[in-house]
Amino acid sequence: MTHRFQLDWALLPTGWTRDVVATVSTAGMVTSIEAGCAAPAPTERIAGFVLPGMANAHSHAFQRALAGGAERRASSRDSFWTWRSAMYALANRLRPDELQIVATQLFIEMLKAGYTSVGEFHYLHRTLDGAASGPGRFALWDAVIAAARAAGIGLSFLPTLYQTSDFGGAPLKPEQSRFQLDVEDYLDAIAARIGAERDAAGSPLRIGAAFHSLRAVPLDTLRQAAARLAEIDSTMPVHIHVAEQAREVKSCVSATGLRPIELLLGTGLVNDRWCLVHCTHATPAELAGIAASGAAVCVSISTEANLGDGFFDTLRFARADGRLCIGSDSQSTVDPAEELRWLEYQQRLRRKRRMVLATAAEPHTGTQLWCAAAREGARALGQPAGAIAVGQRADWIALDPDHPAIAGAAPEAMADRLIFAGGRAAIRDCLVAGRRVIKGGRHAAEAASAETYAALMRRFAAA
Ligand SMILES: [Zn+2]
């Protein structure tokens, strides 16, 4: 069975096109696209302006419960590291059922903002009593997967290896003990999960893997685990945090004599299946090295700004043909339009000029930013999406043509309006695998989710 959509306007890889008829399979994949034709019945019309949905390439769902809650000055030395203490306190109280409530609320918010898939970089492994085996094993993994299914968002689940507290094999601190898994347990669990999901048809779920960081995974362990992961699935996405903090770079140099990105590239492991998250403190040579490796970089300007990390050199990486995607990371902002707006604004403020990330081939800054991040984000997540094209999943967003930020604008300026004026309020519909999960700006489960989530937050506040 196929389903036929009539799109008034669609942003195809060749540009904005009027009267597009797209056929979508039962599995949600686009099987044909015809432009400029009258739609044969039966069809479902999508009015307004349709763009590819955005991939959120880096998320820690549980941190949604901390967003806005760590903004009170504790001392003149507040930093990433003091924020991390608050984050650990949250990580050490969540039960699986509570994580599912938080993640469901978050994933609904992502869909309303235009994210159609998410990469969940997940390092909460052990139950509150420290068990990594027995009944309920990996219940925290199940909670995230169940939340994505309930919300209807595409998920790349990235179980994360976390072994040490710093370079040189420093043991984990007590507050990090929930993150630890033996390497064999970790690899077996990923292989088992891939096997289980292979039989679960119709769900946009992909299993990948992540290494928390070079400070959390010794290099020999990383080499061995990466080789085994490639045997399990040679196309698996692999993510890692790297060079987010100046202190992290300094510790890496004192322990190894090399900067973290140099060290990682020197392993020879990094290729186009890898996504390097942050890369905030990168030298020009390191940025060129990443671009040459084919790996993507995921930048989360909102989190990097919130945590006082530093500036990523976006323009230099773009000029090296680097693959760049975005993520909501700590969830202080869950809005791809805002993420992309600040990617450009950060460059404008630095360089004192405008349209920094637009190109000669795509002079509309918004179109350039949206299409590149959607395409590269989906690729970094191993999701068959990121463009409105045959062979891609029908993950689309539709802008309301009557929204004040959009009304009267030329189609070519729609992504500019979305990013620089309307933002999430201009998004009317959102489809994942051809299913309208946001309709008229609303998700079918949003009222119930908001109520459950609010009750949980009140309970946390009272405890
Ligand atoms: Zn992160």
pLDDT, tens digit (0-9, with 9 covering 90-100), for 279-335: 999 999 999 999 999 999 999 999 999 988 899 999 999 999 999 999 999 999 999
Same domain for 306 and 325, yes or no, is yes
Mean pLDDT value of segment 255-259: 96
- The two tokens of residue 314 are 């976006």
Q: What is the pLDDT of residue 199?
A: 57
Does residue 120 lie within any of the structural domains? yes
Residue 147 lies in a domain: yes
User: What pLDDT score does 131 carry?
Assistant: 62
CA distance 184 to 132: 12
63 CA to middle of ligand 1, Å? 10
Read off the pLDDT band of 201 (50, 70, 90). Answer: low
Reference 14, options 321, 361, 336; nearest CA is 361
188 tagged catalytic: no
Ligand 1 centroid distance, CA of 428 (Å)? 29
Exposed, middle or buried: residue 238 (CB in 10 Å: 0-12, 13-18, 19+)?
A: buried
Determine the pLDDT at residue 88. 84
Of the residues 309, 313, 329, 335, only one is catalytic, namely 329
Domain identity same for 68 and 24: no
Weakest-pLDDT range from 64-73, 293-302, 344-353: 64-73
Known catalytic membership, residue 278: yes
* 287 and 392, same domain (yes or no): no
412 lies in the same domain as 348? no
pLDDT tens digits for range 13-50:
999 999 999 999 999 999 999 998 776 777 899 999 99
Amino acid at 388: I
pTM: 0.96
Q: Report the pLDDT value the prediction gives residue 134, as an integer from 0 to 100.
A: 56
Position 451 in a domain: no
Q: Give the structural domain span for 323.
A: 54-380
If you measure from the C-alpha of residue 32 to the centroid of ligand 1, how many angstroms do you get, rounded to a whole number?
37
> Could you tell me if residue 460 is inside a domain?
no
The answer to whether residues 419 and 366 touch, using CB atoms and an 8 Å cutoff, is yes
Does position 148 have pLDDT exceeding 80, yes or no?
A: yes
Strands of 442-443's sheet in order across: 30-35, 15-25, 2-12, 44-52, 396-399, 427-432, 435-439, 442-443
